[in-house]
Chain A
Amino acid sequence: MTALLLGALGLFLSLVAPGLLAAARWPDRAPAPAVVLWQAITLAGVLCALGVVLAGPEELIRAADGNRRVASAALVAALAVAAVIVLRLLVSLGGVMWRSRARRARHRLLVDLLDRAEQRHGLDVEGLRVLDGAQPLAYCVAGRSPRVVLTGGALDVLNTTQIAAVVAHEQAHLRHRHELVRESFTAFYQAVPRPLRSRAPLDAVRLLLEMVADDAAARRSGGDAVRGALTLLSDDSAGAGRDRRLSRLADQQPRSVALSVIVLVGAVALLVLPTLVVVVPWLSVAVSNWPL
């Protein structure tokens, strides 16, 4: 029963919930809690899979009243499969973080060499680098010694307030360590076997993190400056994500405190409730029949 319940919940969390959440528009009004909810869904899905692997064999054998030797063999096999799942996730996370760090270190080295310091226009921003190039572009390079990169094209098209807004946006990414969130979702994506993996969480989280950074920039420089900068720095090819960011920035109250609280409570419940309701009762029975 435990394994069936966890399996059903796991399937819901990995197949149904991401589609629903990715299609929803309410996360635009609580982007940071929505990121936490995405993390809770992903983590709870993994925990459900582990629960099925551990509880399934045990329950089958208990129901069939199998002998002790079969029970211990099944337990060892179940633990081994669970360990493989956890290891695969950890190896993927380690690999993504390692390669991302190396790539950012190389990027930082090159951007430092290419910096046109004389074009900074007196901007006093820690780690600011200016690149040649007419394409208006702004991004940040995370790490222990982070960089905020603007192209000459971006400095040309943006006014002073808009430049401040862009810089505040990038600094919010850096301050809140958004790269770690993205790396963890990328690692999860890569760890899932190819036929089962989905880009939906990755794309949704990326957009939500942009909204979080937009809000930080709007608090510093005003929503109009962020909107203006976003309009000037991107064209229509940037797609629906840009439109969502623009329309919520036009809102007087882009964020809802009540919604944020509900979403956060839901995220915590998602992790805690299955454990309390399903796993703990099973464990108390299973441990009393512990075959090893």
Chain B
Amino acid sequence: MPLGDLEREVMTQLWGSAGPLSVRQVHEAIRGRDLAYTTVMTVLDRLAKKGVVNRERDGRAWLYAPVQTREQMTAGLMMDALEDTPDQDAALAHFVGRLSPEALAAAIEAARRQG
């Protein structure tokens, strides 16, 4: 499995869980893919370095949790895609023209409600 897909799969597990997960728990959840334990550990470490998951120590094990919920991160991403002022170097071209603030709020609200 390509590394990108693996990262996405691990994030899906973390987002789907009620609380922080250890490497072993994540490994068990996606075990069907014949993955080495150390691979999962590496992926979680990379995700922590990228600042998308938090890591905290619980006894001898590390526990991992997403920094934001899936909905929060999606809403933030949409804001970033739509935000377009020349003072902020925006350069994400999009199909529609600029959305109004109301439409933007609706986008965020819609992103929050889902999932």
- Report the separation of the CA atoms of residues A100 and B81 in the bound assembly, to the nearest whole angstrom: 12
For residue B48, which residues in chain A have a CB less than 8 angstroms away from its CB? none
The one of B8, B78, B95, B100 in contact with A135, judged by C-beta atoms closer than 8 angstroms, is B78
Q: Report the interface size for chain B: residues with CB under 8 A from the other chain.
A: 40
- A242 near B97 with CB under 8 A, answer yes
**Which segment of A53-61, A64-72, A165-173, A268-276 sits at the interface?**
A165-173
Considering only CB atoms, which chain B residue lies closest to A165 in the complex?
B95
Let me know if B100 and A237 touch, CB within 8 A. yes
Quick check: is A189 within 8 A (CB to CB) of the other chain?
A: yes
Q: Tell me the residues in window 46-84 of chain B with beta carbons closer than 8 Å to chain A beta carbons.
A: 50, 52, 70-71, 73-74, 76-78, 80-82
The answer to whether A238 and B93 touch (CB under 8 A), given A114-B70, A132-B74, is no
Q: A183–B76 Cα gap in the complex (Å)?
A: 22
Quick check: is A13 within 8 A (CB to CB) of the other chain? no
Complexed CA–CA distance, A207 and B4 (Å): 34
Q: Which residues from A are CB-within-8-Å of B78?
A: 131, 133, 135, 137, 151
Chain B residue numbers with a CB within 8 Å of A169 are: 95
Q: Is the CB of B96 within 8 A of A242?
A: yes
A117 touches B8 (CB 8 A): yes
Residue B91, interface by CB 8 Å: yes
CB contact between B93 and one of A99, A173, A229, A237 (< 8 Å): that residue: A173
* A95 CA / B92 CA spacing, docked (Å): 16
Residue contacts A-B, CB under 8 angstroms, 24 given: A95-B89, A100-B90, A104-B92, A109-B50, A110-B73, A110-B77, A113-B7, A113-B73, A114-B74, A117-B5, A132-B70, A132-B115, A135-B103, A135-B111, A137-B82, A141-B92, A169-B95, A182-B93, A186-B91, A230-B96, A234-B97, A235-B103, A237-B103, A238-B98
